[in-house]
Amino acid sequence: DAKTTQPNSMESNEEEPVHLPCNHSTISGTDYIHWYRQLPSQGPEYVIHGLTSNVNNRMASLAIAEDRKSSTLILHRATLRDAAVYYCILRPPDDYKLSFGAGTTVTVRA
Amino acid sequence: NAGVTQTPKFQVLKTGQSMTLQCAQDMNHEYMSWYRQDPGMGLRLIHYSVGAGITDQGEVPNGYNVSRSTTEDFPLRLLSAAPSQTSVYFCASSYSDRTNYGYTFGSGTRLTVV
């Protein structure tokens, strides 16, 4: 399975943007890039996913490098509710499994 | 609200006891799965199902059984509980179209085996 590398932790101030990097240098051409987050004492929550083009939704934006070896999840204005562990996951189209790594713990300062 | 419902939220078992963790979804998702999460670790896949009557093993299936008789329900059975099965269990579901949809997770069952 292709692996992802994320920083262990990041801090942000409330109402400022947060850029969460993810490296996936061994990604295959058909792997989708998924992001999930897990708030304290809750189940993971789907955030966004993409294949090649940048994606936007109401929660975040996903910027994918042209060579697809890295991506960045962008939270445009962090709130205290965005404090969570964020997981970057590669998902082959023929595989149902989500392989969770350690993720990035995001702390938001008021 | 539509979503994935897990029961119970908390459970304490004695070693050797058996129990069933319930998972139900009302989104007509074809795919359902069970994960466990141990302290400081990511989630690991236990079992999954791509539709009613079809189940398969994930990466940590030992000590667990599943069945899928309906689209809505996917119970996880612990056959003879062991302290190593102390964990938080999450059920997840998704449409079979994996290119356009993400997974919806339940809020978890926190299990302690003493």
List pLDDT tens digits, range B70-98.
999 999 999 999 999 999 999 999 988 77
A90, A96, A98: which to substitute to probe chain B, counting the most B Cβ within 10 Å?
A: A96
Q: Which of A43, A93, A97 sits opposite B99 (nearest CB)?
A: A93
Of A29, A31, A46, which is closest to residue A84 (Cα–Cα)? A46
Half-sphere exposure of A67 (CA within 13 A, CB side): 6
Per-residue pLDDT at A92: 85
Q: Is A91 on the interface with B (CB under 8 A)?
A: yes
- Min distance A106 CA to chain B CA atoms (Å): 15
What pLDDT digit, counting tens, does each position of A33-45 carry? Answer: 999 999 999 999 9
Low-confidence ranges of chain B (pLDDT < 70): 1
| Confidence check: pLDDT of A1 > 70 | no
Tokens of B35: 């994960």
C-beta neighbour count of A36 within 10 angstroms: 25
Return the pLDDT at B47.
97
The per-residue b/e assignment along B41-69, b for 16 or more CB within 10 angstroms, e otherwise, is: ebbbbbbbbeebeebeebebbeebebebe
Q: How far apart are CA A89 and CA A20, in angstroms?
A: 13
d(CA B86, CA B12): 9
Partner-chain contact B103 A44, CB within 8 Å? yes
